[in-house]
Amino acid sequence: MENISIVDFNPDDADQMNVISEIHKSVLPDSFVVMMGGIFMKKFYYKVLPKLNYLKCFLAFYNNQYVGMIVTNKKPYSLIRSAIPHHFFLIGWVMVVAVITDLSRIGVIIDLMKYKPDPLLKKFEDTGTSFEILTIGVIEKYRSITLSNNIKISHLLLKHAVEDYKSKKYDTITGQILKSNKGALGFYTKYQANFIQSSVRDYGVILELPIKNVVI
């Protein structure tokens, strides 16, 4: 008999930290978070940002093991920049260590400094009622499993996050999606999502999905 639950991610839980880092690496190996290395991921991204209440993460616990995650963001436009004033020296230390251990990360940092967030994300952030989905990831061998309530683990993660944000009066989901990511586009299309052409990236769209479309 299956045993599935969705739990809040605890950044002080070493096992959960290892799991969320490994899933992130497996589903988004080319993301700057992964490319900056484990120290950046475990000492800043998944450590500091959740404690600042910017990131909210949930883990899927299936048959006594963690198999999936959803990472959400309350700062769609200014996530990293909002954290700098609070932890300037920590961020500096993490960046220095990341570069010392792998000089190729200098290029990653330069690309990050050049990055321009889409102005539309600022509009979503300014509403105070929109949150961003950064990642939904399920370990490959568990992606096709259909649970007893006729739902897959990825959709269960989404519904759980929506329920949490809905209780806090949020009403809209946003996010950035590559046009080439047919899986993600198809996933959100099931909820009648709107995809808005990015004003800064021809190859990307901005997700606009009313929470009410995600039936709990």
147: phi > 0 → left, psi -120 to 50 → alpha, else beta; which? beta
Domain limits at 164? 4-213
Looking at residue 210, its pLDDT comes to 97
Q: pLDDT for 77-128, tens place per residue?
A: 999 888 888 888 988 899 899 999 999 999 988 888 888 889 999 999 999 9
The average pLDDT across 43-52 equals: 94
Tally of domains in the chain: 1
Query: In this structure, what token pair is assigned to residue 61?
Result: 């616990």
Position 185 confidence tier, pLDDT thresholds 50, 70, 90: very high
185-192 long-range contacts, Cβ below 8 Å, gap at least 24? 187/136, 187/154, 187/155
Whether the predicted pLDDT of 60 surpasses 90: yes
Whether the predicted pLDDT of 41 surpasses 90: yes
The structure tokens 């910017």 sit at 54
| Mean pLDDT computed over every residue of the chain | 93
CATH number of the domain that 181 lies in? 3.40.630.30
**Nearest Cα to 106, choosing from 96, 116, 115?**
96
CA count, 13 A, side-chain hemisphere, 77: 12
How far is Cα 46 from Cα 37, in angstroms, rounded to an integer? 12
Looking at residue 216, its pLDDT comes to 65
Whether the predicted pLDDT of 1 surpasses 70: no
pLDDT > 90: percent of the chain: 81
Q: pLDDT for 124-177, tens place per residue?
A: 999 999 999 999 999 999 999 999 888 999 999 999 999 999 999 999 999 999
Q: Which SS3 state, helix, strand or coil, does residue 172 take? A: strand
